[in-house]
């Protein structure tokens, strides 16, 4: 009998851009049940969740592959409901497909929050080092530097969308971090792929931590 985990994206399911990398870590013997906070909503409804001045900005992907920005305050209740639905349906391990910072969510099982897993992994190996960060949009640079600056006073975030013109954007960002002499680079979005990790590592010549890789490895440890 297959083991089952749930996933919740702040965008729309299925996340065909994420799940294959997760499966490559977990193996094919795991059933993954996906859910999205924006599932079933029109583009007009989604537009009403757009960030306003002072909002915590999140970037995600819709089912058609387009990228949107949403405010944490608007998306959190919908994410919470999707997590609760998984737990109520008997799924005991749920992976949140977002590295954003959120308040506490529904309890009822094990919730893997990539932001916490990634943050603590970086803190364990890179305290005081020059931490480079890739974040999806310019609007997220300040909040990213504030977060990673708690681990080291030397933290620099550079925007590079994982959804639009990704290859060129990542190349530019990685080159900036190489010139800045980053000791380690954090790919701070679930949208960055294993291929992105390889590209950044080759350009910077330094270690790279990938959010989806670290989070999937945690799931692997939990479920065996």
Rounded mean pLDDT for each run of 10 residues along the chain, 224 residues in total? 91 97 93 97 95 95 95 96 96 96 88 97 97 97 97 98 95 98 98 98 98 97 89
Q: Which token pair is 166?
A: 């990704």
Identify whether residues 53 and 98 lie together within a single domain.
yes
Identify whether residues 77 and 131 lie together within a single domain.
no
Specify the CATH number for the domain of residue 29: 3.40.50
Identify whether residues 135 and 181 lie together within a single domain.
yes
Identify whether residues 106 and 127 lie together within a single domain.
no
Q: What is the pLDDT of residue 2?
A: 79
Identify whether residues 142 and 90 lie together within a single domain.
no
Calpha distance 135→56 (Å, rounded): 13
Q: What is the pLDDT of residue 132?
A: 98
Residue 123: phi and psi, rounded to 5, are -60, -35
Residue 73: phi and psi, rounded to 5, are -65, -30
Please state the domain count of the chain.
2
Within 4-68, residue ranges assigned H as helices are 19-26, 43-47
Identify whether residues 9 and 96 lie together within a single domain.
yes
Q: What is the pLDDT of residue 28?
A: 86
Residue 70, SS3 per DSSP:
strand
Identify whether residues 72 and 106 lie together within a single domain.
yes
Identify whether residues 177 and 199 lie together within a single domain.
yes
Specify the CATH number for the domain of residue 179: 3.40.50.1860
Which domain, by its residues, includes 136? 116-210
Identify whether residues 8 and 27 lie together within a single domain.
yes
Q: What is the pLDDT of residue 1?
A: 61
Residue 60, SS3 per DSSP:
strand
Q: Are 97 and 125 in contact (CB under 8 A)?
A: no
Beta-bridge partners for 131: 155, 184
Short-list 206, 168, 173, 204, CA closest to 188: 173
Short-list 113, 66, 112, 107, CA closest to 93: 112
Q: Are 56 and 43 in contact (CB under 8 A)?
A: no
Calpha distance 52→106 (Å, rounded): 26
Q: Which token pair is 132?
A: 């480079």
């Amino acid at each position: 009998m297959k083991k089952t985990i749930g996933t919740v994206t702040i965008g729309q399911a299925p996340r065909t851009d994420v799940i294959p990398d997760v499966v490559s870590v977990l193996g094919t013997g795991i059933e993954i049940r996906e859910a999205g906070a924006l599932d079933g909503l029109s583009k007009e409804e989604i537009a009403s969740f757009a960030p306003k001045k002072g909002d915590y900005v999140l970037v995600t992907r819709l089912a058609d592959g387009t990228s949107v920005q949403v405010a944490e305050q608007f998306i959190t209740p919908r994410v919470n409901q999707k997590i609760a639905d998984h737990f109520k349906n008997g799924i005991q391990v749920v992976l949140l497909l977002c590295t954003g910072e959120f308040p506490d969510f529904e309890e009822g099982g094990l919730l893997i929050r990539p932001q916490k897993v990634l943050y603590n992994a970086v803190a364990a190996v890179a305290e005081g080092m020059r931490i480079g960060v890739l974040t999806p949009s310019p609007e997220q640079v300040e909040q990213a530097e504030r977060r990673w600056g708690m681990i080291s006073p030397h933290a620099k975030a550079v925007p590079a969308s994982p959804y639009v013109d990704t290859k060129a954007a990542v190349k530019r960002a990685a080159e900036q971090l190489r010139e800045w002499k980053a000791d380690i680079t954090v790919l701070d979005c679930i949208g960055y792929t294993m291929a992105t990790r390889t590209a950044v590592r080759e350009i910077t010549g330094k270690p790279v931590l990938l959010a989806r890789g670290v989070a999937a490895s945690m799931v692997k440890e939990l479920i065996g």
